[in-house]
Amino acid sequence: MFFPSPSEPIGYMPVLQVILILALLIFVHELGHFMAARLQGIYANRFSIGFGPVVWKYQGPQTEYALRALPLGGFVGFPDDDPDSDIPRNDPNLLRNRPVFDRVIVISAGVIANLVFAYLVLLTQVGLVGVPSGLSYKPGVIVPEVVRESVAEKAGIKSGDTILAIDGQDLPAAEGTRANLQKAIAASPEKAVKLRIDRAGEILEIPVTPKLEQVNGQPIGRIGVNLQSNGDPVFEKPKDVGQLLTVAAQQFEIITIRTVQGFGKLITDFGTTVKQVGGPVAIVSEGAKIAKSDPSNLFTFAALISINLAVINILPLPALDGGQLLFLMFEALLGKPLPQKLQDGVMQTGLVMMLGLGVFLIIRDTANLLPR
């Protein structure tokens, strides 16, 4: 995942926008659990956003609502095992005394809420903004990312640069300009090329020598950058309600499939894919860049993160909704729940592991943002 250079501050407002979006998505997820319980008459005595020490709380007639210090998630608490609860242990409205199907609805409701919310966000984006139907091209090719320790970085190329020409040949405002630049670089292994670059209005001439790599037995030159066509997206709004619903559904399907495929690669190509996994800091960083470049893209960002939360939570891992659903599946098959001590031990171990992973990702992602 790409991180912005510390010398290019993003600003507080985009960061605040992204943090509010993440808080909203956590709220939506936990609200799904909460409403699924309350609508079935099941007791829910805590509704919390965040973990750790309480920062703010309100005690309602049945439920304590709280904000906590560590914004790494949230939870809905049930009085089933609360030693201070005066509800009889055999009360039919305790979660554990409900049939398996009722509990499945409560546990899966958070995932369903995130998926529904993602679709509604995309529906709003398509209705208000439209969907990209192409680009209004501008001269040059944008460099959104420079690989660390690459020949491009060593030559002085930075993320955000716009390459206007290579070896004196201008890069015109056309659809194939990015591909032509890639071909020119690939055709020059170990041969210096001169790039004319626009950096925030300053025109620079930067020589760079593509590194020789072998691809399918052929010598290829690479400099270690991602390239993006230079232009403004052209948006097209749907013509009627039917098209609005269809286009939003298509966008939802595309994001969901790509998300599931991404998690699948964690299994099939763990060594490579795990390096791309980002924690809260990386998510805020990427989202803030999106908000700064085009706030309307925050719709897609919110939908993407919401679907990611849904997919993560449905995984059959301890401390996640999928782990609890797995316990319920065993209960349905065996006709009785697994021993409570076993369930508590697995869930507590999973929670510690998840919090540990969260802390690790925060430290790693923060370190990636710092100057070397």
Q: Mind listing the pLDDT tens digit for each residue in 48-103?
A: 998 889 999 999 988 999 999 877 788 999 998 777 888 888 899 999 999 999 99
> In the predicted model, is pLDDT for residue 121 greater than 90?
yes
> What pTM was estimated for this model as a whole?
0.74
Query: Catalytic pick from 30, 190, 205, 213?
Result: 30
Task: Tell me the pLDDT band of 352, cut-offs 50, 70 and 90.
Answer: confident
Collapsing DSSP to helix, strand or coil, 337 comes out as coil
> In the predicted model, is pLDDT for residue 192 greater than 50?
yes
**Whether the Cβ atoms of residue 152 and residue 210 lie closer than 8 Å to each other:** no
Last residue in a domain, options 206, 234, 262: 234
- Residue 82 resides in a domain: yes
> In the predicted model, is pLDDT for residue 348 greater than 50?
yes
163 and 98 both lie in a single domain:
no
- Quick one: pLDDT at residue 359? 59
45 and 109 both lie in a single domain:
yes
**Mean pLDDT of the region 113-123:** 95
- Residue 320 resides in a domain: yes
**Mean pLDDT of the region 265-290:** 57
Domain boundaries, position 82: 12-127+299-369
- Residue 38 resides in a domain: yes
**Whether the Cβ atoms of residue 137 and residue 177 lie closer than 8 Å to each other:** yes
Query: Can you tell me the distance from the alpha carbon of 371 to that of 114, in angstroms, rounded to the nearest whole number?
Result: 36
Query: Can you tell me the distance from the alpha carbon of 318 to that of 211, in angstroms, rounded to the nearest whole number?
Result: 45
Residue 70 forms beta bridges with which residues? 51
**Whether the Cβ atoms of residue 235 and residue 162 lie closer than 8 Å to each other:** no
Last residue in a domain, options 216, 234, 252: 234
**Mean pLDDT of the region 204-218:** 90
Query: Can you tell me the distance from the alpha carbon of 255 to that of 249, in angstroms, rounded to the nearest whole number?
Result: 10
96 and 157 both lie in a single domain:
no
The domain that contains 181 carries what CATH number?
2.30.42.10
One-letter amino acid of 122? L
Closest CA to 197 of 206, 208, 207, 186: 206
Task: Tell me the pLDDT band of 4, cut-offs 50, 70 and 90.
Answer: very low
* Geometric angle at alpha carbon 72, from 71 and 78, rounded to 5°: 95
Maximum distance among all Cα pairs of the chain, rounded to whole angstroms:
82
Task: Tell me the pLDDT band of 5, cut-offs 50, 70 and 90.
Answer: very low
- Quick one: pLDDT at residue 144? 87
- Residue 263 resides in a domain: no
281: tokens are 């800091």
238 C-beta neighbours (distance < 10 Å), count? 16
147 and 122 both lie in a single domain:
no
- Residue 345 resides in a domain: yes
- Residue 159 resides in a domain: yes
97 and 145 both lie in a single domain:
no
Q: What is the pLDDT of residues 308-341, one digit of tens each?
A: 889 888 888 887 898 889 989 988 998 888 887 8
| Residue with more model confidence, 247 or 358 | 247
- Quick one: pLDDT at residue 6? 38
Average pLDDT, the chain: 83
> In the predicted model, is pLDDT for residue 128 greater than 50?
yes
74 and 25 both lie in a single domain:
yes
Task: Tell me the pLDDT band of 276, cut-offs 50, 70 and 90.
Answer: low
Closest CA to 28 of 117, 106, 105, 108: 117
User: How many folded domains does the chain comprise?
Assistant: 2
Q: What is the pLDDT of residues 23-46, one digit of tens each?
A: 898 999 999 999 999 999 999 999
16 and 123 both lie in a single domain:
yes
As a residue count, the chain comes to: 372
63 and 150 both lie in a single domain:
no
**Whether the Cβ atoms of residue 78 and residue 324 lie closer than 8 Å to each other:** no
111 and 154 both lie in a single domain:
no
Last residue in a domain, options 234, 263, 290: 234
Collapsing DSSP to helix, strand or coil, 9 comes out as coil
- Quick one: pLDDT at residue 8? 44
193 and 224 both lie in a single domain:
yes
Give the contacts of 306 (CB within 8 A, at least 6 positions apart).
Answer: 25, 28, 114, 115, 117, 118, 121
- Residue 7 resides in a domain: no
Residue with tokens 């808080």: 23
Q: What is the pLDDT of residues 149-188, one digit of tens each?
A: 899 999 999 988 999 999 999 999 998 999 999 999 999 9
- Residue 349 resides in a domain: yes
172 and 224 both lie in a single domain:
yes
Task: Tell me the pLDDT band of 274, cut-offs 50, 70 and 90.
Answer: very low
77 and 27 both lie in a single domain:
yes
Considering Cα of 281, then 282, then 284, then 289, what sign does the dihedral take? positive
> In the predicted model, is pLDDT for residue 218 greater than 90?
no
Confirm whether 30 is a catalytic residue.
yes
